[in-house]
Structure 1
């Protein structure tokens, strides 16, 4: 797996990576955006893209295209990706918490923005640590559910 890219170290650097200005797509269409306001101050803190059904369909198609590759990976390979994602969250936890606080208006400390960012990392690591049995185990037949690894 490749190295993680250089990660932002301040909220302004982080914000610049998630802000989407008006731009023209290769097909000539303009990608519009809307302002994101800090609810505590009313200040514009960034721009978010505004997409329609076509862009959603494109994103779903891309996800479907890559899913077979993801499905072919072993649980250990998938766990490594989830742990790398957690590492990336941890690396920018401070700026990410500040951005979350600005975007939502929630307090930075206590069981709020910093806690939520830490929980994101913990959820990723927890998912990475779960053991996925190689065999399919069918329940007692009453609920109709089955758990296991593999394709449906």
Structure 2
């Protein structure tokens, strides 16, 4: 029989991470966000447990894509009826709802299981740099290195 050593409640505590998407590449940033939402950066990671953190993404309007994706990438959805396939180009989705681009990228990178929707609930994306969670932020991703900080006011 094994016993837990130490205070595991601190290990399961959910931290708040701030990611500034300005100038970052969509795919690389989204994979890091998915890892944080899953909790893979913690020593207590368990694929069956939901031990990830909150992630607040700002400046979603300024995210970059490589190659010709700005002109060629297309998002699809289907209504379920014959002829119900809808296509939305990346450029149009960026104009209308830039936060949805990051949400779709992270959603596709999370494991396809029952925990995906609860993990996505902890992803908060904002098109500009204004958000209501400034008091909650405990870590800032700056230059791709997580740094501890005091809450931003």
TM range (shorter): under 0.3
TM-score scaled by length of structure 1:
0.26
Say which structure, 1 or 2, has more relative contact order (CA 8 Å, 6+ apart).
2
- Greater Cα radius of gyration, structure 1 or 2: 1
- Structure 1 or 2: larger strand share? 2
